[in-house]
Amino acid sequence: MNPLVPALGVLVAANVMNNRIAPRWAPVTSAVATGALAAIARRGGLTWPELGFRTPRRGAAIGGTLAAGVAAGYAAGVALPRTRPLFHDERALALSRRRLLEEALVQVPAGTVLLEEVAFRGVLPALLGRSVPARTAVAASAALFGLWHVLPALDMARANPALGRLTSGETGDGVETARLVAGTVVSTGIAGLLFHELRRRGGLLAPSVLHVATNSLGYLAARAARRLSPHPPGRDHARVPGGAV
C-alpha cells in the first residue's frame, strides 16, 4: 500500500477528534497521530533529515526572529482602536485565566503545532515528493493544510463575527460563514507555502516556532483587546463556540 493512504487516514481521524469529538484531548491525540505519521514515513524509507529534523540552531534563530515580529504586529493591532475588534474572539475571551494559559502553553504547541508541522511540512511533502516533482509536492501539501482548517474556520465564524463582516460585508450569516471558511482555507494554504520555505531554510523548528507564536500570542492578544475596549463585545456582538484553531 502507498504510505500516503494511511497517512491521510491518520490526519482525517485526528482532525475530527481534535475539532469535534475531544478538543481538550488534542495534545494526546496529536502526539499519537504524530508518532503514527513518523512511523509510516520511516517504514516507507524516509530519513529524519528528509522529514525536516535538522539544523535546530538555525531554525530557532529564524523562528524566533519572526515570532518577535508577530508579537509586535499583535501589539500594534490591539493598540489601534480600528483593528482592536478583530481580536475579540470568544474562544479566548470565554476562557478562565487558567484555561487561557492551558491553551497557549499546552494545547497550541502540543495539540496543534506538533502534528501540523510534522504532517504538512515533514511527512506529506516527503511522501508526495517520491511520486511527483518537489514543487508539486509542496503545493499539494499546502492545499491539504488549507483544507485541514475547514472545521476550525467554522468555529471561528461563530466566535468572531467581526472577521465574518470584514470578509463578506453585511450579508447573511450563511454567506459570512462560507466566505470566512473559504478565506481561511486559501490563507492557510498560502501560509503553508511560507512555512515550507521556512522549513527548507531552518528545518521543522523554524516554522514551528513561528506557528506557536502566531496561535498562542493570539489568545493573549484577545484578552488584552478586551481589557482595552471601553465596550467589550457582549451577546449582541459575539457567540461563544467550542473548539480551537
Q: Would 94 be classed as within a structural domain?
A: yes
pLDDT, tens digit (0-9, with 9 covering 90-100), for 17-74: 999 999 999 999 999 999 999 999 999 999 999 999 999 999 999 999 999 999 999 9
Per-residue exposure over 34-46, b if at least 16 CB sit within 10 Å of its own CB, e if not: bebbbebbeebeb
Q: How many domains is the chain partitioned into structurally?
A: 1
Domain boundaries, position 28: 4-228
**Inside any domain, residue 201:** yes
**Mean of all residue pLDDT scores within the chain:** 89
146 falls within a domain: yes
pLDDT for the residue numbered 116: 98
Global pTM reads: 0.86
- The three grid cell numbers given for residue 237, joined into one nine-digit string: 456582538
Return d(Cα 215, Cα 145) in angstroms, integer.
16
Residue 199 within a domain? yes
SS3 label, residue 139: helix
Residue 241 placed within a domain: no
For residue 96, the SS3 value is: coil
| Cα Rg of the chain, angstroms | 18
Is residue 152 over pLDDT 60? yes
Whether residue 233 has pLDDT greater than 70 = no
pLDDT digits (tens, 9 = 90+) for 181-214: 999 999 999 999 999 999 999 999 999 999 999 9
* Residue 188, all three cell numbers: 492557510
Beta strands in 118-241 (DSSP E): none
- Is the residue at 30 inside a domain? yes
198 touches 210 (CB < 8 A): yes
Residue 215 has pLDDT above 50, yes or no: yes
> Is residue 9 a part of any domain in this protein?
yes
* Residue 234 in domain: no
pLDDT band at 88 (very low <50, low <70, confident <90, very high): confident
pLDDT in tens, 114-148: 999 999 999 999 999 999 999 999 999 999 999 99
Task: Give residue 234's pLDDT band: very low, low, confident or very high (50, 70, 90).
Answer: very low
